A = this chain, B = another copy of it.
Amino acid sequence: MNAAVWNAIPAALPTSIRALMHAPVNTRLVVNGWVRNVRRQKRYWFAEIADGSSGQSLQIVAPSLLAKEGDLPITPGSCIKAFGVLQRSHGTGQELELLADDLQVTGPCDAGSYPIQKQGHSDEFLRTQQHFRLRTERMSKIMRLKSKLAHAMASWLHSQDFVQIYAPSITEHDCEGGGEAFTVSSERRPDFFPKDAYLTVSAQLHLEIAASSISRVFSMAPVFRAENHQTSRHLAEFWMLECEMAFCDTLDSLLNFAETFLRESCGLLSREATEMDDESRSRLLTTFGRPIPRISYADAVDILAKHPESFEYCPQMGRDLQSEHEKFLCDRVFRGPVFVTDYPAALKPFYMKLNPDSQTVACADLLLPGMGEVLGGSLREDRAHVLKESMERKLSPAACESLQWYLDLRKFGCSPHGGFGLGFDRLLQFALSVGNIRDVVMLPRTAGAIKY
């Protein structure tokens, strides 16, 4: 950070520990943070404090007289404010430290009853303490990297002329069917909406409106599924990044774009997030740094059918791939990510573009090792008569009626187009190698989990 930027930091907020690490020595500063640990020596008192602005902590050194035990209840977890001068550290493990001449405890913390203890806790225990678990080094780092991943993705998309669109979360469509959408209502005003209202399962249909004007659009927003999956990778509410592009007329060009997007945005994250560990950096590079193999659903089933002994459910043409099949393809066959393309039309939603074989659709799921699907995309059916037939076959008459506007898009200047949806939390889970998706989300929502 250069001097100009340093000065531009608004005086409204005290200096963050991340910024302070770039300040000149001998600067007089006020710094705030939560105490990680404290140690007393005869003449000096030391505390390590963190403020979550980066993975770095700051050592505060004070004359023992200043921090007399009993006078100032400075314990792990307490929030303190230190006044002093930044200096080169005499100790090891840090370059800079703050020599304090005044200390205040702005938020005491009763060490006995504080749920977060120095020795560390299991992920399971921390899930019972969601209002405190972000104070652990691991969870605060996950949150910072999550924020940086989202910003890297948005920044790259902006550089490519993509426009972020804010599609509604409340919608009249329950399209993917199966009653997996939550319903929304107002207790006080039961007639608030003139018909049933649902929480969106995907912004895609709405994004197609925008793509037919602005060409390249994306949405980054929560989506909702009332599915009772109790797995390590499903949530009832999660954030999805969805891209939709006009003038995209082959599945290969769509997948080329998806690959480029993943490579460039994960690359940006790897370069900018200095606290990311080498293992994650290398996983992202290995996974997205080279072309991802593509295999058709039919070829995938052929391969899987040769290993019936490996599966609980026998892979069979015309049936959906199970998690165990996806895992086998990634872990045993491709030993890395793979796009599975061209599924049977019968297994996929009404809006996917029918291939010339009239049996399969121009779609792909991206499977990642140890994870399964993180991204699904397709060309969208842009021929009005083919779409109409597909809607009538797959949707209720009421749904067809309420989707007249979607059919109308095909009648007036409809470009070939396509897009994909990426499970943002899952991608992060993969990047950081986190076992359970509940641990990359501050307050996860699953069946039964509504606390907070």
Contacts and interface: CB of A to CB of B under 8 A. Distances in A.
Contact of A442 (B12, B34, B140, B209): B209
Contacts of A444: 168
Contact of A253 (B13, B19, B107, B170): B13
A295 interface: no
B447 A189 contact: yes
Contacts of A35: 413
Nearest to A151: B158
Interface residues of A, number: 123
B160 A13 contact: yes
A398 B26 CA distance: 53
A400 interface: no
Interface string A220-247: 0110101010000000110100000111
A37 interface: no
Interface in A142-174: 143-144, 146-148, 150-151, 154-155, 158, 160-161, 163-173
Interface in A405-451: 405-406, 408-409, 411-416, 441-445, 447-451
A188 B10 CA distance: 51
B106 A415 contact: yes
Contacts of A108: 413
A168 B257 contact: no
Nearest to A135: B213
A161 B452 contact: no
A170 B237 contact: yes
Given A206-B443, A445-B170, A106 B416 contact: yes
B450 A197 contact: yes
B441 A247 contact: no
Interface stretch (A74-82, A305-313, A354-362): A74-82
A246 to B, nearest CB: 7
Interface stretch (A84-92, A179-187, A277-285, A325-333): A179-187
10 contacts: A52-B163, A114-B413, A131-B409, A146-B164, A150-B164, A166-B441, A172-B450, A172-B452, A184-B184, A209-B442
